[in-house]
Structure 1
């Protein structure tokens, strides 16, 4: 190639590179969440008292329960939970896919080295040469075996004149962000699920304690009735009723113990532990701890940035918008620069001589003329997918808003109900004391004692269940607010590192 031709070729490349600055398709604009600015319950509504607290939600929200065991379990979720680890691997997958998409922005270079030895057929196409060489050449003449040596390179580069490749990379970037937000969503859900299972475990253990306490009371009452019968002050009917009440409470305990075991196993599963692995850690029965009545909610309009599912829906909309640009770019010509440089020789001693050099270089332009409607249908598909992603984003935001309001109302009303149930339990306890005293003095029937004891048991059980519900509503509120923004995650697998598979998981899969 002479200098002038090379200069012209560079000028063409430069002109094409200048065109590469344009990008077809719509640019992504962050959607408006339409969330309120002041109160989740609306500016004209009557918000709950805790909605007025301006402070943002604490990322480690489980500290409001002041339970060191719960805190210790929550700290282990990010590393141990299998859903979070799966989401971490998916994040790595999206990053690798992004690398595949970004590779189209760069030239591809390949080496091509080969050696062939070929014997031509005497009766093949070379036999036609005998007619050209004359009768003296004889028929069926073919050269002997030939050796051919070749060493070279070929390169190709698609000039992204219209931004089709850049839109593909933009879509891949959005999908990486979506995978990261989905991982965070998995963590938030796992943290909330662990707290729910833990609080329900403590609630069941509280119910077991209530049953045992009432069983002790009923045994005392049974002993009292038996003593009165021995002194001829009572008939056998009261003894049988008292004994039936004792057995009724005893029958409740195994069912509660079964629930206790199930919740311990559920917590073990969340932390990638076999069944019963946390029994020694969680077997000590304690009561449920409720959080404070006033919960910091932060600014409602910032919920769209705190909730990972909203952020993931926004990322999905971004990727769908960028894919429209990819579809639009397919309508434009594709310009690809191709080049091949190599050395070809029948004698390896002369392979790298200047006379063995051969090359080919030049642009290739591909313009779609007819594709049977494929390009238009693809564009229409991408536009429909963008509309679907926009609707999904809107629904996700609206669902998040509903989640917060429902949790706020449920928590506030359950607090009021719990206070009433506490008063009911206090009155039921006082009534049982009076009924026992009157029965012991012989001025009241045993049926009154039995009814009072049943009322007390029911009131204490309802109060314990309400205490658990208050705490569960609080967990739901923190989850609705997008709480649990951890900074520590499992390591994302690199391109050169294999993803470790736990041996126990493999064993379980084989079995």
Structure 2
């Protein structure tokens, strides 16, 4: 071979390799651009409609926001719920399923290699065409060992788009677990605060039972002395019975709330009775609440990130559907040994091999490929709408939670005044009745007013705490984005790199 022909051969091979490399870098379908969420315009402060506006700060929302309530029992329940909640365990298993699907999608980009071995004893028909050609018809053994390999060249990025979609789906599953974590932490706090509010209401009922019982004793004594009437005695007994009737309902509600907490912790009914049966006051509320920056709200809300990842997956599926319209080119080869005698398998002359390209070109599919593309595009549009809906819902939740928090604090301040005045009215009515300067109707009205104001005050304190829980939930508290990102980085060998901010662009990628 001359030097010139050798040079031409090397140049031909280099050019062929360059063409293959360029083709392998071609990916059809839309690429991704981060969607504009618009959450920088969110107002993270209550409206100016309330006389007493609670204070907020731009500090980051704590991961363990429940620690701001300074309640060790609540903190303990939250930690146990994070470890034992069955919904979180199911979400973790779904992550493993999604990870396996990602591995399956990634394997399509690699060659497949298989080995085979076979033995058969064969004989041809003495009256067949091979016998007519002179082939021996006696029975004989046939041994074969070999390896097969195949690899589809991802010229149009079909396998890469499928892997990209699977990777985005995997991220969506991870964010789904974190969204469940936010929900669980808020639900534990919500039920715990309702439990403490119910226990406080039980104490209120028992205190009023004591007041009603003393009043009944006074009325009965006055009736025996001919000072009070039967009407006053009957009214006092009715008041006492009405307050007693509140106790069973409150007791049942308390027990149901303790069981609800046990369920969130993955425990059997009554498992928390010993820990929670003793009544404790509602935890104090923080005076200054950290709400973070509006521009970071989309990064703190795992449901927004989940919707974004689903949009990513749906958009990548469009590229895979478009790649189905193009030819598929693969390489297939095999190598092995064949012999009629087992001892001849080690001979060099028993070798065989095959190698060559394969081409598949879709010519007629009955419209299946076109409809699949239409379906993928429709799913992408649905995912885009779902993303915008998730962002808008998050904005509403934050604004409503801020408004509810401010409203309940202002309501609580006024109810404190109402309760103090009702207590004074009750003391004055009881003193006047004892001295004979007032009738029993005034005492009865004062008792009912005091009980009602105590109930409203306790209800307001509970709702104020619940409003704060809803605020932290709407702000995405209860999970740690940095920890999730670190976990993804530490497992980068088995997980895909993040594709960045997700959304569909209408532009096509060019080879």
Question: Residue 120 in 1 paired to residue 114 in 2?
Answer: no
Task: Give the one of 62, 65, 70 matched to 1:58.
Answer: 62
Once the two structures are superposed, the pairs formed by residues 173-192 of structure 1 within 5 Å of their partners are: 173-192=167-186
Measure how far apart 1:10 and its partner are.
Answer: 8.8
Higher normalized contact order (CA 8 Å, seq sep 6+, divided by chain length): 2
Q: Secondary structure at the match of 1:276?
A: coil
> 2:39 pairs with 35, 42, 49, which one?
35
Matches within 5 A, 1:332-411: 332-411=326-405
Q: Does the CA-based 8 Å contact 2:45-2:402 persist in structure 1? A: no
Question: Helix, strand or coil: the match of 2:148?
Answer: strand
**Runs of 4+ in structure 1 over 6 Å off:** 6-11
The secondary structure found in structure 1 opposite 2:108 is helix
Q: Distance in 2 between matches of 1:50 and 1:104?
A: 56
Counterpart position of 2:278: 284
Does 1:210 find its partner at 2:214? Answer: no
SS state at 1:148 partner: strand
State how far apart, in whole Å, the 2-side matches of 1:337 and 1:440 are: 105
- 1:9 shift after superposition: 7.9
Give the drift of 1:292: 2.4
Contact 2:337 2:345 in 1 (8 A): yes
| TM-score, length of structure 2 as denominator length | 0.88
1:232 offset after TM fit, Å? Answer: 2.7
> 2 CA distance for matches of 1:184 and 1:86?
12
- Check conservation: 1:157, 1:338, Cα contact below 8 A: yes
Q: Is the 8 A contact 1:121 1:142 kept in 2?
A: no
Q: Distance in 2 between matches of 1:60 and 1:478?
A: 10
Number of the residue aligned with 1:314: 308
Given the alignment, which residue of 225, 233, 237 partners 2:227? 233
Contact 1:26–1:325, Cα closer than 8 Å, also in 2 = yes
1:404–1:480: 8 Å Cα contact kept in structure 2?
yes
What is the aligned counterpart of 2:269 among 275, 289, 306?
275
Q: Which residue of 2 aligns with 1:455?
A: 449
| Equivalent pairs, count | 478
CA contact (8 A) 2:43 2:399 kept: no
| Contact persistence 2:81–2:266 (CA under 8 A) | no
Report SS of the residue matched to 1:57: coil
Unaligned runs of 5+ in 1: 134-140, 495-511
Q: Deviations over 1:306-365 (max 9, x none)?
A: 000000000001111111111111122111000011111111111231221111101111
Using the size of structure 1 for normalisation, the TM-score is 0.88
Once the 2 structures are TM-superposed, how far is the Cα of residue 287 of structure 1 from its aligned partner?
A: 2.0
Aligned to 2:152: 158
Contact 1:50 1:296 (8 Å CA) reproduced: no
Which runs of 5 or more structure 2 residues have no equivalent in the other structure?
A: 1-5, 492-511
**Residue pair 1:39, 1:52 contacting (<8 A) in 2 also:** no
Aligned to 1:101: 105
The CA distance in 1 between the partners of 2:425 and 2:350, in whole Å, is: 111
> Which among 70, 94, 100 is matched to residue 90 of structure 1?
94
**Residue 231 (structure 1) shift:** 2.6
Answering whether residue 70 of structure 2 is matched by residue 70 of structure 1, we say no
State the distance in 1 between where 2:436 and 2:292 align.
62
Deviation for aligned residue 1:255: 0.4
Match of 1:481 in 2: 475
State the 1:47 CA deviation: 8.7
Task: Check 1:471–1:329 CA distance in 2 against 1; reply closer, same or farther (3 A cut).
Answer: same
